[in-house]
Amino acid sequence: MSEGATHSRTADAHAVDGRRFREVLGNFPTSVVAITTTDGEARPHGMVVGTFTSVSLDPPLVSFLADRSSTTLRTIRAAGRFCANALAGNQERLSRQLATGPAGQRFDSAMWHASDLGNPVLDGIVAWVDCAVERVVEIGDHLLVVGRVRDLRVESMKTPLLFFRSGYGDYLSSTSVLMDRLVGWDEIGR
């Protein structure tokens, strides 16, 4: 066996350790996105993902990864559509409710309206992307859900909700920090 092959086997052994995998990957910040759909009786369903990403511009495709055990994914596959809602920095409570609440109560006290495709668009979000399911691909213990974009919109200029090292946080642009400092200096100088 070559030295390279030995090295890659050792590297794999480290990589498959679940605790280490989660710990290291938790250092990669993600956006917090609510994936929503409705069932046959027009009842809203949703889950929170940190794996939403754009895939292709032509054709316009986006994707997210869902655990094989996801019950929301079953509803999405049956509906053939979903909406990706980019949650805002002040929507941590809504995110917790959508991520861990009992399936029937996740939209309790949440305001939303239906998109043209029929998917819930939540109030107070940053932006949304409404999709038809294009493809579902099995990858490891997850399913990659690829959506074809049917409509999309920026709803507000609010800052996004982020997830990093097992905790929620808000986004702070370096420009706004600089502006705050400049304003502060300006006030001190007066």
- Residue 170 binds ligand FMN (CB under 6 A): no
- Residue 88 binds ligand FMN (CB under 6 A): no
- Residue 48 binds ligand FMN (CB under 6 A): yes
Q: Residue 91: which of 44, 37, 31 has the closest Cα?
A: 31
- Residue 39 binds ligand FMN (CB under 6 A): no
Interacting residue with ligand FMN among 37, 38, 66, 120 (CB under 6 A): 66
Identify the residue whose tokens are 């052994």: 13
Which segment (14-22, 62-70, 151-159, 172-180) binds ligand FMN by CB under 6 A? 62-70
- Residue 49 binds ligand FMN (CB under 6 A): yes
Which segment (43-51, 113-121, 131-139, 175-183) binds ligand FMN by CB under 6 A? 43-51
Q: Can you say how many angstroms the Cα of residue 4 is from the centroid of all Cα atoms in its chain? A: 37
C-alpha–C-alpha distance, residues 67 and 70, integer Å: 5
C-alpha–C-alpha distance, residues 98 and 96, integer Å: 6
Q: What is the DSSP string of 42-83?
A: --EEEEEES--EEEETTTTEEEEEEETT-HHHHHHHHHTEEE
Residues 150 and 131: beta-carbon distance below 8 Å: yes
Which segment (60-68, 129-137, 152-160, 182-190) binds ligand FMN by CB under 6 A? 60-68
Residues in touch with ligand FMN (CB under 6 A): 32, 47-51, 65-67, 70-73, 99-100, 103, 163
